[in-house]
Amino acid sequence: MSRIFRYIAKKFWGPFFFAMGVFAALVVLGDTFEKLKTLSNGYSTLGAVLSYSLLTFPMWLATIMPVACLLGAISVISEMVASGEWTACVASGFSPRQLFKPVVMCIILVAVLTMALQEFVVPPLNMKAEVLYYTKISPEDNFNINAETDVAMKVSDNQMLYAKSVDLGQGLMEGVTLDTYDNLWNIASQFVAKRMLWDETNRRWVFEKGTYRTFVDELDTEDEHFDYKVSPVEMQPKDMSINRTENKLLSIRGLTKRINFFKQTGLASYSAETERQAKLATPFVTLIMCLLGMPFAISLKRKSKILNIIASMVIAFTFWWLISMITSIGENGYINPYLAGWGPVILFGAVVFFEFKWLKL
């Protein structure tokens, strides 16, 4: 590793941590003051609000890291241009790409750490924050983040399951109806039960207090009442993904599990798939966003550093706005999830390529 590489890389971290600290303070304080309004509802406490802010801090940290990378990169280059170091390095035989390399490596390191933070730290803390918010800050009656209501899903090629509520954490479904259809999709039989429980010992679902109904013809049925009966449902709770957790709060692993479950049960998976692809594209988004802004510190070197930063920030936030818009379209099923997640990366990657070519960097 050359001395100039270490020198430039070292210069990156000061502006990066300064920018991250400023943005983190602004975002966290804004969010905390917003939650302080709930102190008047008679339930919330200052301790609960501060605990919520602490739990959501890693999420905000992961959100602002790309912007901190951008400002850190721009600051390094702007400072080198303003002090004459850039000109001296170029005159000594270093190409602009060689001078960009230390900054890019620092950005890649931050992007990888951000990815790890979003995958392993943020999701569980966000879950705890959601529970805290809806139980201590703005309580909802009978709130259970693991429970979902009014669930309908396909459990096999010819069976549909309906449940008024599902709590996979307890292995419990209440208000259950399981319909079995023939080859023409005429209903052949039906289970109606008060609840369906997961028997961990025998690894089977068990109906409790219900009726098994056989459809003899269009006007006649045969009913059998029971207290307990083994269910034909073979899918285990660990393979299901039914809860109130929003897609954006899940890790890539959690989203993959939800997508596989949705596909298996005939539910729409485009929203979860779009979110998964967007998360997978996050490191590339950070790098490309920075590469979009970095050349302006050179191309506008006769202007003020403030203008450099403003120009770069305009491009960066335009980039984020486009990503948010395309992701939203993908989550609603109007475009392919893979295109929604990776389309902006490919588009702006091409822009970066032609930008560097046009500026001869």
Whether the pLDDT of residue 28 is over 60: the answer is yes
Q: In total, how many domains does the chain have?
A: 2
Residue 31 in 3-state DSSP?
Answer: helix
Question: Does residue 303 sit in the same domain as residue 337?
Answer: yes
Please indicate, yes or no, if residue 254 is contained in any of the structural domains. no
Is residue 299 very low, low, confident or very high in pLDDT (cuts 50, 70, 90)? low
Closest CA to 231 of 260, 261, 203: 203
Helix (H), strand (E) at residue 206: strand 204-215
d(CA 175, CA 208): 10
Length of the chain: 361
Please indicate, yes or no, if residue 85 is contained in any of the structural domains. yes
Question: Does residue 12 sit in the same domain as residue 113?
Answer: yes
Over residues 80-104, the mean pLDDT reads 87
Q: Over the chain, what is the mean pLDDT?
A: 87
Please indicate, yes or no, if residue 253 is contained in any of the structural domains. no
Please indicate, yes or no, if residue 305 is contained in any of the structural domains. yes
Over residues 278-290, the mean pLDDT reads 89
181 DSSP β-pair partners: 187
Over residues 19-30, the mean pLDDT reads 86
Question: Does residue 106 sit in the same domain as residue 130?
Answer: yes
Whether the pLDDT of residue 63 is over 80: the answer is yes
Q: Are 113 and 235 in contact (CB under 8 A)?
A: no
Question: Does residue 15 sit in the same domain as residue 78?
Answer: yes
Question: Does residue 22 sit in the same domain as residue 127?
Answer: yes
69, HSE (Cβ side, Cα atoms, 13 Å): 30
Question: Does residue 126 sit in the same domain as residue 156?
Answer: no
End position of a domain, from candidates 239, 262, 290:
239
Please indicate, yes or no, if residue 260 is contained in any of the structural domains. no
Question: Does residue 164 sit in the same domain as residue 134?
Answer: no
Summarize pLDDT for 108-160 with one digit per residue, the tens.
999 999 999 999 999 999 989 988 988 888 888 878 888 888 999 888 888 99
Question: Does residue 93 sit in the same domain as residue 185?
Answer: no
Q: Are 189 and 163 in contact (CB under 8 A)?
A: no
d(CA 175, CA 167): 12
Phi, psi of 359 (to 5 degrees): -85, 0
d(CA 52, CA 44): 11
Per-position DSSP letters for 149-192, written without gaps between them: EEEEEEEETTEEEEEEEEETTTTEEEEEEEEEE-TTS-EEEEEE
Question: Does residue 130 sit in the same domain as residue 168?
Answer: no
Question: Does residue 127 sit in the same domain as residue 158?
Answer: no
Q: Are 62 and 282 in contact (CB under 8 A)?
A: no
Range of 335's domain?
3-139+270-358
Please indicate, yes or no, if residue 247 is contained in any of the structural domains. no
> What local confidence, expressed as pLDDT, does residue 312 receive?
60
Name the amino acid, one letter, at 356. Answer: F
Question: Does residue 230 sit in the same domain as residue 285?
Answer: no
> What local confidence, expressed as pLDDT, does residue 229 receive?
94
> What local confidence, expressed as pLDDT, does residue 308 receive?
56
d(CA 89, CA 110): 26
Please indicate, yes or no, if residue 244 is contained in any of the structural domains. no
Question: Does residue 90 sit in the same domain as residue 166?
Answer: no
Summarize pLDDT for 194-240 with one digit per residue, the tens.
999 999 998 999 999 999 999 987 678 899 999 999 999 988 898 88
d(CA 277, CA 30): 29
d(CA 95, CA 333): 45
Closest CA to 174 of 141, 143, 198: 198
> What local confidence, expressed as pLDDT, does residue 351 receive?
86
Q: 10 Å Cβ neighbour count for 212?
A: 17
> What local confidence, expressed as pLDDT, does residue 1 receive?
52
The residue that leads in pLDDT, 245 or 274, is 274
Q: What percent of the chain has pLDDT over 70?
A: 95
Please indicate, yes or no, if residue 230 is contained in any of the structural domains. yes
End position of a domain, from candidates 216, 239, 262:
239
